[in-house]
Amino acid sequence: MTLEISPRRRVINFVMLSLSGVCTVLVIAVLFFILGYLFVHGARSLNWNFFTKLPKPAGETGGGMANAIVGSGKVLLLATVVGVPVGFLAGVYLAEYSGKTFAFVIRYVVDLLNGVPSIVIGIVGYALVVRPMHHYSTLAGGIALGIMMIPIAVRTTEEFLRAVPNSMREGAMALGATKAQTVFTVVVPAAASGLMSGMMLNLARVAGETAPLLFTALGNMFWSKGWLAPIATLPVMIYNYAIAPDEDLHQQAWAAGFVLLLLILVVNVTARMIIARGPASSRR
């Protein structure tokens, strides 16, 4: 027995299914056209000065972003020091220690923090650090980005620790290890590669954040000394140069965008490959 499907239904089926395929191609094409343009245009605007020279005063051409590259590094280092330990330990708590109700509350609040718009985190950084100290600083920028790193750090830690099979915990306990020894010498090392790539993704995410730095780290045309002076960062430089009415600065903004995006994408691809190949996911 064969089922009869009228030509009209056949045509509708074909048209609609093709349409969904076309939409997919359209979305991917638009996105990749844009990124392709950035890569071509950005790479063309890139030169050695970009990495080695300081920005030139307004009106002069040339110069580079050496201070912003170092600045981004400093701010991200500080953010990692602020955000990762708190997030990691809270993640350990959720995965290994917590009861149901309190864990629900913490998870909810972590999600909430993850949803806070980045500009609001900027305001908080300003209110907590800049205002009491009366000046913009690397410290304020690092703390703002650090707060942004916490939610993802918690979630990845919890997820990867949960993926460690219970037999490992039981094995450690049976050998006489205490709970703390089990968690920190058996479970955490077993999840280490996942945890590391999770943190890399986390870092890549905040590396491009601009809004929280606008009025915390502010910006700086020169080298920033110590941790309490304003500091230039790549994303803020891109923003400032892109809206400046100067073709030479636009070129530098493209170059900076290229460098920033390349770093972020390389970290993302590497980390995702490690996670995909890691032991944690194959066991799931």
Residues 102-141 that bind other proteins (CB under 8 A): 102, 105-106, 109-113, 115-124, 126-128
Residue 86 burial (CB count, 10 A): 15
> Where are any strands of DSSP class E within 119-224?
none
Q: Does residue number 43 form part of the binding site for other proteins (CB under 8 A)?
A: no
* CB 218, min distance to other proteins, A: 7
Q: Among residues 69, 92, 195, 280, which is the contact residue for other proteins, using CB under 8 A? A: 92
Q: Which is nearer to other proteins, 35 or 192 (CB)?
A: 35
Q: Tell me the Ramachandran region of residue 231: left when phi exceeds 0, alpha when psi lies from -120 to 50, beta otherwise.
A: beta
SS3 13: helix
> Among the candidate windows 13-21, 52-60, 161-169, 220-228, which touches other proteins by CB under 8 A?
13-21
Q: Does residue number 268 form part of the binding site for other proteins (CB under 8 A)?
A: yes
Binding residues for other proteins, rule CB under 8 A, total 92
Residues 162-221 that bind other proteins (CB under 8 A): 178-181, 183-184, 201, 204-205, 207-211, 214-215, 218
Q: How far is CA 125 from CA 116, 118, 138, in A?
A: 13, 11, 11
Its sign, for the CA torsion 220, 222, 223, 227, is negative
Q: Does residue number 81 form part of the binding site for other proteins (CB under 8 A)?
A: no
* CB 37, min distance to other proteins, A: 6
Residues 245-264 that bind other proteins (CB under 8 A): 250, 253-254, 257, 260-261, 264
> Among the candidate windows 54-62, 64-72, 92-100, 161-169, which touches other proteins by CB under 8 A?
92-100
151, 111 Cβ separation under 8 angstroms: yes
Residue 78 burial (CB count, 10 A): 22
* CB 206, min distance to other proteins, A: 9
Kindly give, in sequence order, each residue whose CB lies less than 8 Å from that of residue 279, ignoring residues fewer than 6 positions away. Answer: 190, 193
